[in-house]
Structure 1
Amino acid sequence: MSSNIIRFYRVKDQYGFFSNFAPYPIKRKGKVWPTSEHYFQAQKFAGTEWEEKIRRESSPMNAARIGRSRKLPLREDWEAVKDEVMKEAVYATFTQHPDLKNALLKTERAVLVEHTDKDHYWGDGKDGMGKNRLGEILMEVRELLQRS
């Protein structure tokens, strides 16, 4: 593994295009989703009215607020499928936007880390003790793209 580490979080930073909040629409399930965050959050409520409501939200932050609210019931299998849904969203982003695909491939073997104290599952928890699942999924998708 490379000792080169690329940390990302804010959309406006150098590697901000790795963020699910980055303004790159994706096509999934026969619809256009404004960002991968919109898609990911909406899938927590797949098949309900909330799925479409989240898709239509004006910003990824608004989509995330609704998706993170525990006032709405999550789909029963969410914990079992959330990583696969994230991988689906990330794969769509980097295959549907050639410029992003090229940028991801240029990272070669660098370790990709979502660097934030706000998330210990998708990010590194800022102290490095988080799971960094988004970074891991980005590296998995990069590997798939390198082979194709």
Structure 2
Amino acid sequence: MTIYFYQVDQPYGVFSNFSPHPITLDGYRWPTVEHYYQAQKFVGTRDAALVAKIRELPHPMLAAQTGRNPRYQRRPDWEQVKCNVMLKAVQCKFFSHPELAQMLLQTGTAALVENSPIDTYWGCGPNGTGCNHLGQILMQVRQELASCPAHPLLNH
């Protein structure tokens, strides 16, 4: 079985990085995983002031637009660290929101696919052959939750 997700207002929309589930990482509260992820592109660059600006933006789409703006300087190691940045944020989201952890665990062994019509890196892209890195990360976090005996959801 495969579970597809993409829009926040659709089934399994909480798996989206745009879902309104705050995380606390690096000493700051971030409104969404998307805010955190986009801000990390500028850590240690001449555009480092964007980190705080992105954190304060009212919507994750604005964070994404800012983070994708080519006029800003990304950190030179971004391509090497971006999957680890995403993993850290997704772990934080699901380990700090028990209701989301429960929902993720309830997917069992189903494949999780970000059904993005445009993103072939994080999602499956327009023809379904994308890398689906976000889905892969979610399945990894699901496994971590399932194998964590100290997790409150697993103490029946």
Show structure 2 runs of 5+ residues with no match. Answer: 149-156
Deviations 1:32-52 (A, max 9, x none): 000000000000011411111
Measure how far apart 1:121 and its partner are: 0.2
Where has structure 1 moved over 6 Å in runs of 4 or more? none
Segment of structure 1 superposing worse, 83-92 or 42-51? 42-51
Q: Does 1:25 align with 2:45?
A: no
Aligned pair 1:34/2:31, yes or no?
yes
Cα distance, 1:137 vs structure 2: 0.3
Separation in structure 2 between the aligned mates of residue 69 and residue 121 of structure 1, nearest angstrom: 18
Relative to the length of structure 2, the TM-score reads 0.91
Query: Structure 1 vs Structure 2: percent identity of aligned residues?
Result: 50
Corresponding residue number in structure 2 for 1:142: 142
Aligned to 2:41, the other structure's residue is in SS state helix
User: What residue in structure 2 maps to residue 94 of structure 1?
Assistant: 94
- Cα deviation for residue 111 of structure 1 reads 0.1
SS in 2 for 1:142: helix
Q: AA paired with 1:55?
A: R
Gapped runs of 5+ residues in structure 1? none
Cα deviation for residue 128 of structure 1 reads 1.4
Task: State the one-letter code of the partner of 2:107.
Answer: T
Larger-gyration structure (1/2):
2
Q: How many residues align?
A: 145
CA distance in 1, matches of 2:107, 2:40: 29
**Deviations for 1:49-82, whole angstroms, at most 9, x for unmatched residues?**
1111100111000000000111101001000000
Match of 1:58 in 2: 58
**Which residue pairs with 2:153 in the alignment?**
none
Q: CA deviation at 1:127?
A: 1.3
Which residue among 13, 16, 19 is the counterpart of 1:16?
13
Q: C-alpha distance in 1, partners of 2:86/2:111?
A: 18
CA–CA distance in 2 between the matches of 1:133 and 1:76? 21
Question: What residue in structure 1 maps to residue 152 of structure 2?
Answer: none
1:7 has 2:1 as partner: no
